[in-house]
Amino acid sequence: MCSIEYLLHHLIRLQRYLKQSLLLIINGVNINVVMGSPSVISKIAQIPQNFSENVDKLSATGARIIAVASGDNEKLICRGLIALADSPRSDARESIAKIKELGIRIIMVTGDTISTARIIAQEVGIGCRIGTLDDALTNPLEFDGFANVFPEEKHKIVQSLQKLGMIVGMTGDGINDAPALKQADVGMAVSNATDIAKSAAKIVLTESRLSDITKVIESGHRVYRRMMTWTITKLTRTAELASLLTLGFIFTGFFPVSLNLIVFIVVMNDLVTLSLGTDKAWPTKVPEQWNLPRLAKISAIFTLVWLVIGLGLLLFFHLTRNIEAAQISTLMFLYLIYSAMATVIMTRTRDQFWSFLPSKWVGCMVVANIIISTLMALAGWLMSPVDFQSVLIVFVITTLVLFVLDNIKIKYYKLTGILGT
């Protein structure tokens, strides 16, 4: 039995083209040993005739293939192939399906061979169209994934997609992934990523599972919906109050709402606005897009209708019921509160307002505002008291307008795609 003495002289890991490179000294002779992608080893080492056939055979199993070559400084010879089992997580297919349901397209980028990448992509439900880096830089949307890609080349793929107007999210864990994570619109570092990758990313996942990405997307959609509710409501309330005060003064010669009551309106409306952060919301099946002109249009529609009804009530109470200006101010205070609460309830969903109930806090604040303002008006607390019949007229008319505006909203939302589906 013979023994071979060897000395590890030099070790280089994670080079651009090689997974690992070693320089061994065996019985005084220098021997280079390299491991890396079969496509790279085939270019720098002598390979057997059945090399490609064996690579394809092993890749068909979905394994990650590493070629091993050795030799002196003059010549390297491929000595064999190593197949590493790299099975996807058990929840990968389900998580990817959920992400696709949210309108997000998934593209796989890997350093594995095309055959291995195709098997894995099909197994998890991504697709079977696997291209190369050249394909990614010329027509990336025609493929479901790209193989034989080095980490530092992912940056180019992200840029290629962004040039086509795509909003790109990317996951990564290594130092070489950092440029691509930084370039992506939403860079996500996985839980075991390097510190550099985490610093470059906008989001750091706390668990090593794809389902967390779904949570990130859904959370973003919910925040977006709450922002839409707040924006539309704020634009409508502000424009309605300013217009009603201005036109009301022109038509009647006095301000329809006193300064003290305006302060109450602002405070009570803001309390509801604060609770919108807790409101129920659901993710859409299409990517969201901020479109201020569309929001301004629906806000203008709401404002116009509420303004016309408000002026109608103002003139009705002023001309036909012979009510004093102080009492009219109380009734207009009620109308502005009721219409603001109705706008909040309407704008938070693209369907009928009763089809998706608000959160406990939003519901409580809306109901509390209506009850408190009504009791203040009837009791005459900090305002001139009014009779129950006048209050009922304002409440009923506001409720009827709520149903009319809700139908207008549904048609507009579906026509423009606001709040998705």
In order, the DSSP letters of 290-351 are --HHHHHHHHHHHHHHHHHHHHHHHHHHHHTS---HHHHHHHHHHHHHHHHHHHHHHHT-SS
Beta-bridge partner residues of 108? 145
Q: Is residue 309 part of a domain?
A: yes
Same domain, residue pair 242 and 367: yes
Residue owning tokens 């479901």: 144
187 and 232 part of one domain: no
Q: Is residue 144 part of a domain?
A: yes
Say what the pLDDT of residue 282 is: 76
Residues 238, 223, single domain; the answer is: yes
Residues 270 and 402 both lie in one domain: yes
CATH of the domain at 99: 3.40.50.1000
Token output for 116: 């291995």
Decide: residue 11, CB within 10 A, 0-12 exposed, 13-18 middle, 19+ buried.
Answer: exposed
39 vs 150: CA distance, rounded Å = 12
pLDDT in tens, the chain (421 residues): 444 444 444 544 444 444 545 555 555 667 778 888 887 888 888 888 888 888 888 877 777 788 888 887 678 888 888 888 767 777 788 888 888 888 888 999 988 888 888 888 888 889 889 988 888 888 889 999 998 887 778 889 999 999 998 889 998 888 888 899 999 999 998 888 888 888 999 988 887 777 788 888 888 888 888 888 888 888 998 899 999 999 999 988 888 888 888 888 888 888 888 888 888 887 777 777 777 888 888 899 999 999 999 999 999 988 887 788 889 999 999 999 999 999 999 888 888 888 888 888 999 999 999 999 999 999 888 888 999 999 999 999 999 999 999 999 888 888 876 655 4
How many independent structural domains does the chain possess? 3
Do residues 188 and 204 both lie within one domain? yes
For CA atoms 111, 116, 118, 122, the dihedral sign is: negative
> Where is the domain boundary, 163, 183, 214?
214
Query: In angstroms, rounded to a whole number, what is the distance separating the alpha carbons of residues 134 and 101?
Result: 29
> Do 277 and 307 reside in the same domain of the chain?
yes
In the numeric block, the tokens 């790109």 are attached to 168
Domain co-membership, 210 together with 246: no
CATH number of domain containing 257 = 1.20.1110.10
User: Residues 264, 399: one domain?
Assistant: yes
Burial label, 372 (beta-carbon count in 10 A; 0-12, 13-18, 19+): middle
* Beta bridge mates, 109: 146
- Surface-to-core class of residue 253, CB atoms within 10 Å of its CB (0-12 exposed, 13-18 middle, 19+ buried): exposed
CA-wise closest residue to 405 among 310, 304, 333, 334:
304
Structure pTM? 0.71
CATH of the domain at 34: 3.40.1110.10
Write out the two tokens for 330: 């109380």
Angle in degrees, CA 357, 358, 363, rounded to 5: 115
Domain C-terminal end among 190, 214, 238 = 214
Distance (Å, whole) CA 158 – CA 185: 9
Tokens of residue 23, six digits: 């320089």
Strand partners, 188: 171, 203
**HEC secondary structure over 91-155:** CHHHHHHHHHHCCCCCCEECCCCHHHHHHHHHHHCCCCCEECHHHHHHCHHHCCEECCCCHHHHH
One domain for residues 55 and 166 = no
Burial 137-171, CB ≥16 within 10 A → b, else e:
beebeebbbbbbbebebbbbbbebbeeeebebbbb
Residue 301 resides in a domain: yes
User: Does one domain contain both 322 and 375?
Assistant: yes
Whole-number Å distance between alpha carbons of 3 and 292: 78
25-30, Cβ contacts within 8 angstroms, sequence gap of 24 or more = 29/72, 30/72, 30/73
- Cα gap 170→184, rounded to integer Å: 6
Q: Is residue 389 one of the residues assigned to a domain?
A: yes
Written as one letter, the residue type at 415 is L
Among residues 214, 233, 251, the one where a domain terminates is 214
Residues 373 and 238 in one domain: yes
Query: Residue 354 in 3-state DSSP?
Result: coil
Q: Going by DSSP bridges, is the β-strand pair 145-146/108-109 parallel, antiparallel, or unpaired?
A: parallel
Domain that holds residue 72: 3-84
Domain contains 235: yes
Residues 206 and 73 in one domain: no
In a domain? residue 421: no
The residue among 62, 49, 178, 188 whose CA lies nearest residue 113 is 62
